[in-house]
Amino acid sequence: MNHTASFVSATPVLASLDIKRSVDFFVSKLGFAAIYAEQGQYGIVSNGPISIHFWACTDPEIPKATGCRVQVRDIANLYTHCSALGIVHPNAPLETKPWGNHEFAIVDPDGNLVTFYEPVSA
């Protein structure tokens, strides 16, 4: 592949059965800011350099089969916060993975798996 473009960032787009509920979850539980929310259409939240988008979906099985990964700093503090809220996935507690990350996952109200990770060397 011969091109001059360089990749800068990636933005996950998750399926949402209820755009307002998805946006509210990320705002109230994880401190994101609501950027856009059009019920039945599209939603966007952001926190610093991270944005997560939501597309309106009517099939409840789709979000249960999707997810994203978000790199964070101070994962232990975030894990404590999410544990206190009861949103940590029961099969994904904070642990060190063989590929070199500390990570854990939460599930949003529609079933999307959101994995937070921090490189062990951080």
Q: What is the CATH number of the domain that holds 70?
A: 3.10.180.10
Instruction: Check if the beta carbon of residue 28 is closer than 8 Å to that of residue 22.
Output: no
Residue 7 lies in a domain: no
What is the model's pLDDT at position 7? 79
Q: 4: pLDDT confidence band, cut at 50, 70 and 90? A: confident
In a domain, 5, yes or no: no
Asked, for residue 2, whether it belongs to a domain, the answer is no
Mean pLDDT of the chain: 94
* In a domain? residue 8: no
pLDDT value, residue 90 = 94
Reported as a pLDDT band with limits 50, 70 and 90, residue 1 is low
Q: In total, how many domains does the chain have? A: 1
- Residue 31 backbone dihedrals phi, psi, to 5 degrees: 75, 20
Structure tokens at 59: 């099939």
Asked, for residue 91, whether it belongs to a domain, the answer is yes
| Inside any domain, residue 3 | no
The whole-number pLDDT of residue 121 equals 85
